[in-house]
Amino acid sequence: MLKDLYEVIDELSDPPDEWGKPYFSQEQYYEPIELSKENFNPLESESSGKKVCCVDGGNNKIFESPSDSVHLIRVYFNLFQGERRIKNVEPTTALLISRFEGEKVRSELRTITGSIPFARTDFFLTKEELEEKGPVSAAHTVRKYLEWETLQYAVEEYLEEGDILVKDGVLQTTVESEREYAEDAYGTVEENHIALVGIAKTSSLMTTQNYPLISSVQAMARDSDKNMWYYHPIARNDHPDHKGEMYIVKFHPSSGYAFRTEFYRKLDVDVEKVLGELAFQSKDPIFLGYPYGLVDADKRARVTDEEIDYLKNMCENRMKESFRDKINSCNAHDKLSNI
């Protein structure tokens, strides 16, 4: 079996003869730029003394049935100045109870810990707002809304002009209702002149040669004289729901990773200084080449399976038979996986 797998790895390791251009499915909004070694720029790691705030969120399912669901949601932001954490912020943790109400899904947020003042605790979600029809997919949608609100709250309460705000993921929305949250946050960022950056842990962007875009850029970089760099431009972006100017960045010379990194395109900021600050944060061996503020935000916002299992076990003896019947209609696969 291993020999067969080795052959597959060899087959999939062959790069294309030409890199082509970045590919975007919504071609009407993007003008891709031919990949070129001329677009590599050197990057210097340096702390400017500005505050860096990183925002992330997590959710995990506690109970699910076809008619309702219960999730645990957590959102968090941190504040660093150079290598020093300047404030310990308590993550905000809440239960999200979602159930059908007519054709919509009503989700009720019940905060358990934390002090972020969310504008809404009741959400009436249409099928356009849900990845899958039904209450179980509501948590992902609501969590995105709460992340935008957390981002806005962090700016209003803790950041000053010239500080840096980092969002996990790209600066793009997918549905009308999320756009409203994002626009409120963007307005606060503009008003306070905060450098807003989105960094995606993963990227599915491809080239016109059907090769991963980030892999293409990394391969080109190995033939250059730069071992820590940012690559730009990638495309001219005119998408109304995608407010990010796209870069690909390698934040540490010894890292095997480069990340799709986006700057809020309506603000004029010193890109090299901001990237240098994030590179300064990317020296921790726990994930070399990834800003530590995002490592910390991911860890503190994550809702682990162990946490969910504990809550399930603690509720086991409190369940009424009617509730147990509901969740048993969806959990046989999980039961088999644990055997």
| Choice between 333 and 105, residue whose per-residue pLDDT is larger | 105
Residue 46 phi/psi, 5° resolution? -160, 135
What per-residue confidence (pLDDT) applies to 170? Answer: 96
pLDDT per residue over 260-300, tens digit each?
Answer: 999 999 999 999 999 999 999 999 999 999 999 999 999 99
Helix/strand/coil for 122: strand
Question: From residue 56, how far is each of 51, 106, 199, 297 by CA, in Å?
Answer: 17, 24, 11, 6
What does the buried/exposed string (b/e) look like for 174-188 if buried means 16 or more CB atoms within 10 Å of the residue's CB? ebebbbebbeebbeb
For residue 269 the two structure tokens come to 């900021």
pTM for the predicted model, two decimal places:
0.93
Q: Which burial class, exposed, middle or buried, applies to 336 when counting CB atoms under 10 A from its CB (0-12, 13-18, 19+)?
A: exposed
Lowest mean pLDDT among 133-137, 263-267, 326-330, 335-339: 335-339
The average confidence (pLDDT) of the chain is 93
pLDDT surpasses 80 at 338 = no
Percent of the chain with pLDDT over 90: 79
Residues 6+ apart with CB under 8 A from 263: 195, 196, 197, 244, 245, 247, 269, 271, 274
pLDDT surpasses 70 at 255 = yes
> Taking residues 8-19, what's their average pLDDT?
87
Give 27-303's CATH code, choosing from 3.40.50, 3.30.2170, 3.30.450, 1.10.287: 3.30.2170
pLDDT per residue over 183-213, tens digit each?
Answer: 999 999 999 999 999 999 999 999 999 999 9
The number of helix segments (H) and strand segments (E) in the chain equals 9, 16
What per-residue confidence (pLDDT) applies to 335? Answer: 61
pLDDT per residue over 114-156, tens digit each?
Answer: 989 999 999 999 988 888 888 999 999 999 999 999 999 999 9
Query: What is the pairing mode between strands 235-237 and 30-32?
Result: antiparallel
Directed axis angle between helix 138-158 and helix 176-192, to 10°? 10
For residue 143 the two structure tokens come to 């969590």
Domain ranges (residues) in the chain: 27-303
